[in-house]
Structure 1
Amino acid sequence: MAGVTGRRLAVVSGGGSGIGRAIAARLVADGHRVVVLGRRAAVLERAAQEIGGPVTPLPGDLTDPAAVEHLAARIAELGPVDVLVNNAGATVTPPEDDSLAALAGAWRRDLDANLLTAVLLTTALQPHLARPGGRLVVISSAAAQRGGSGPHSAGSYAAAKAALHGWAFGLARQLGPDGVTVNVLAPGYVQDTEIFGEGWSEDFHARKVADTLVGRAGTPEDVAEAVAYLASPAAGYLTGQVIGLNGGAVLGR
C-alpha cells in the first residue's frame, strides 16, 4: 500500500463489516488508499481481500490507549491522513443485573465502545492530518437525536452517540483554521449490519421502515455515499454539522 503513489490516505475504524466495510470500498473506488481498523483480524483481512485494491487491515482495540498509539504510529508511516472516518461502535450492553454497579459497568462499556474509540483514535492521528484539506467524519446515530428505541432503548447508547456531537463541534472550531473539516453523520435504521443483532425481526424491520418517509430501510451503501461526499475535496465549506441520514424518520433540526 505504501508504494501506491498519488492516492489520498483514508482511515476507517470498524472497517471490517457493515457500514464501515461499505465506506472503505467506496473510498477505494474513489481512488483512496484505505486503512481499515477493528478488533477482529480475520474479519479485516477478509474485507481487505474482498474489496481489493490498496487496503491495509490493522487490527487493534481502539479502547486501549497503548493499542491506539501503536496503530497511529503504523498509520503515520503511510503518509498524512487525508480522511479519518470514526465508525467503530458496538451495540448496547445491558446490565447484568439490577444493581447500580452493573448499570455503571454497562454504561462504561458503551461509552468506551461508542465514544472513547473515536476520541482516542482522532487524538492520536490529529498531528498526522493533512493540512489543509483533511476530512474528519464521525458516524453517530439517529438515537442521539431522538433517544433509543426498540431493542436498543438503553440510554447509554444514545448518550454516547450524542456526546460525539459536542466533541465534534469543538474539533471543528479547533481545526477549521487549518483547513480541516469535521462533520457528524447520523444514520437511522440501516439493514444488513451487525448493530441490531438478536433484536432484529420481521416485525422490527417493518416498524422501522414504516417510520421513514421514503418507505425503505437504509443500506450501508447509502451511508458510504454520504461519507464519500463529506470526505471529498468538494466538501471544503461544510463543517461543524450533524447530517441526518434516516429516510425522514427524524426531521432536520
Structure 2
Amino acid sequence: MARNIVVTGGATGIGKAIARVFAAEGDTVVITGRRAEPLHATAAELGVTAEVCDATDPAQIEKLVDRLPGQIDVLVNNAGGNTDFDSEAPTDLRALAAAWRTNLDANLLSAVLMTTALRDRLTGAVVHIGSIAADKGAGAYGAAKAGLASWNIQLSAELGPRGVTANVVAPGYISDTEFFRDKLTEERRASLIAATHTRRPGVPEDIAAAVHYLASPAARQVTGQVLAVNGGERTTR
C-alpha cells in the first residue's frame, strides 16, 4: 500500500536520493525546498510533487500544511547544511550572533517547526538528517546537529505511544552533494576518505538506504536513536 512521504530539502543530494527510494516503491512523495527551479526539475525527474517552502519560516510552513495529505506516514527532515559556507567569517559579535542563528534555524528549528506542524498527521516515522559534526565539533553547525539529536529523544518519547518512531541518521563525508559549495580541496577530500574504515566516501544512496530502513516495518522498535553512517570515521559501541 502506497504511503505518504514528505522530504524537506528534497531537490538535490541526500534529499533527492531519499525521495528517489520512496518514489521507486510507488509511494506518494512530496519534496520541499527554497529553490523552485531545482525542486521542480527533481519532481519532474522522479515523478513526485514539489512544494516550494522555506522550512525555517513558520508562515510558509502553515501554508504548506494546507497542501499536504491529511495523513503523513513518513516525514524526513533533511533541509539544512552548514550555512557558514555561504558567508564570510564574522568580524564582530552581531555578525557572530547572526551566523549562529542562521545555522540553528537551518538545521534545528526547521525540523522542530516542520515536525510540530505535522505532528497530528504523523502515523509512521520521523527521520532527521543529522551529522558526524554533532560529535566531532564544527561550530554552530555541529552544535545545531547535536541539538537536533538531543531534541529527538524528547520527540521519540512523545510520539512513541502513538506508534510513531523518531530517529536521526548522522552522515559522515558524503560526496556528490552541494554541502561544501565546491570549496572542498582535494587534500581535504583525501583526508576525509582516509579517516574512514571503508576507504571510500559515502554517497547519498547510503543515507537514503538508512532512512528507508528506519521508515520500514522492520524498524518499528527502533526509536530515539542516532544511526551513524560514516564508514567508520567515528565509531560507537
The answer to whether residue 59 in structure 2 is matched with residue 66 in structure 1 is yes
Which residue of 228, 234, 245 maps to 2:212?
Answer: 228
Q: Report if the CA contact (8 A) 1:95-1:106 is conserved.
A: no
Q: Report if the CA contact (8 A) 1:184-1:243 is conserved.
A: yes
Paired position in structure 1 for 2:91: 98
**SS where residue 83 of structure 2 aligns?**
coil
Overall identity of the aligned pairs, in %: 52
Q: Which runs of 5+ in 2 are unaligned?
A: none
Count of residue pairs brought into register by the alignment: 235
Give the TM-score of the pair, scaled to structure 1.
0.90
Q: Residue type of the partner of 2:57?
A: D
Q: Residue type of the partner of 1:136?
A: V
Q: Report if the CA contact (8 A) 2:80-2:107 is conserved.
A: yes
Q: Report if the CA contact (8 A) 1:13-1:37 is conserved.
A: yes
Q: Which runs of 5+ in 1 are unaligned?
A: 1-5, 149-154
What do the CA deviations read for 1:104-150 (whole angstroms, capped 9, x no partner)? 010011111111111100000001112xxx100010000001112xx
Distance 2:66 2:236 in 1: 39
**SS where residue 99 of structure 2 aligns?**
helix
Q: Report if the CA contact (8 A) 2:7-2:78 is conserved.
A: yes
Give the TM-score of the pair, scaled to structure 2.
0.96
Which stretches of structure 1, 4 residues or longer, exceed 4 Å deviation after superposition?
Answer: none
| 1:5-44 mapped onto 2 (5 Å cutoff) | 6-44=1-39
Q: What's the offset of the Cα at 1:96?
A: 5.0
Q: Report if the CA contact (8 A) 1:95-1:102 is conserved.
A: no
The answer to whether residue 134 in structure 2 is matched with residue 144 in structure 1 is yes
Q: Report if the CA contact (8 A) 1:12-1:37 is conserved.
A: yes
Q: Report if the CA contact (8 A) 1:15-1:21 is conserved.
A: yes
Which residue of 173, 183, 199 maps to 1:215?
Answer: 199
Which residue of 143, 146, 154 maps to 1:159?
Answer: 143
Question: Alpha carbon RMSD of aligned pairs, Å?
Answer: 1.2
Q: Report if the CA contact (8 A) 1:9-1:79 is conserved.
A: no
Q: What's the offset of the Cα at 1:47?
A: 0.4
Q: In the superposition, relative to structure 1, how do residues 97 and 138 fare at CA in structure 2: closer, same or farther (>3 Å)? A: closer
Q: What's the offset of the Cα at 1:32?
A: 1.2
Paired position in structure 2 for 1:196: 180
Distance 1:18 1:12 in 2: 12
What do the CA deviations read for 1:79-105 (whole angstroms, capped 9, x no partner)? 300000000002232555421111001
The answer to whether residue 120 in structure 2 is matched with residue 127 in structure 1 is yes
Distance 2:89 2:65 in 1: 34
Q: Report if the CA contact (8 A) 1:144-1:161 is conserved.
A: yes
Paired position in structure 2 for 1:3: none
